[in-house]
A and B are shown apart, each in its own frame.
Chain A
Amino acid sequence: MAIKEAIQIINRMEADGVIERYAIGGAVGATFYLEPVATLDVDVFIEFRAQPGSRLVSLEPIFTYLRDRGCTMEGEHIVIAGWPVQFLPANSNLLQEALVAAVEKSVEGTSARVFTAEHIAAIALQTGRAKDKARVLQFIEANAVDLGRVREILTRHGLNGNWQQFEQQFLK
């Protein structure tokens, strides 16, 4: 399974200290809780570290590590085991909280760290594109989220307006 191989390589990157804590989000993350959602890439959220002596963060160590292992660049993605992977910074309070709260899931013996269903839903509401709202609806219809927890997360991050708008649009 190609995606499992990609997860194994990302785990190895973490073990080798190339990245700090990571978590899978987006459509692949949602698939851990819902029916599979067709997607072309994998979103991996990470804590970006500034280079020693610099205030700038760089993806270069990640690219170098992966290029040395035969991975190739494809636009803003790096192709790992055939899957374009996007490394995204956990650059908001919500994403940082999601990264800390992420849970370990086992994929046939391979560990994968994934955002919780509630954080995926909250992030989708914050992002707010049509496909993100569709994902939140899927979570609700499948009873795959604790809505109370989602509301707590949204309140904590000043996103109650996003919920109200969503509720008005789709749930009333």
Chain B
Amino acid sequence: MAIGSNSSNNSSSKVKGYFERISESKRDFRRRLAALPIAEKLRLLDSLRERMLAIRRGSNAVATRKTIVQETPSER
């Protein structure tokens, strides 16, 4: 029992440590982005916007295709 409990504690603290590292790494990345020269950050804004528009275009295309599929009469 004690061994099982220790093993479970170890595994949960490993998982916790893993998530803490991810969290810290994200915070560090955000800090580094924030510290970039403003021109660089505005260039990133340009790219982010392009990406958002591409995703929207993609989502709209999928929605349109889905609608068409639903409207196609069954051949059976």
Contact = CB atoms under 8 A, between A and B. Distances in A.
B39 interface: yes
Interface stretch (B11-19, B45-53, B64-72): B45-53
A108 interface: yes
Given A1-B39, A4-B39, A107-B39, A39 B49 contact: yes
- Residue of B27, B30, B42, B48 ringed by the most chain A CB atoms within 10 A: B42
Interface residues of A, number: 23
B30 A35 contact: yes
A37 B30 CA distance: 11
Interface string B10-45: 000000000000000001001101100011011111
Interface of A: 1-4, 28, 31-40, 83, 105-108, 141-142, 144
Given A31-B42, A107-B39, A36 B30 contact: no
Contacts of A34: 34
Size band of the B side of the interface? Answer: 10 to 19
Interface of B is mostly: helix
Given A36-B48, A38-B49, A40-B49, A1 B38 contact: no
- Residue of B33, B46, B52, B53 ringed by the most chain A CB atoms within 10 A: B46
A34 B38 CA distance: 10
Nearest to B43: A1
27 contacts: A1-B46, A3-B42, A3-B45, A4-B39, A28-B45, A31-B38, A31-B42, A31-B45, A32-B41, A35-B30, A35-B31, A35-B33, A36-B42, A36-B45, A36-B48, A38-B49, A38-B51, A39-B45, A39-B48, A40-B52, A83-B49, A105-B38, A108-B39, A141-B27, A142-B30, A142-B31, A142-B34
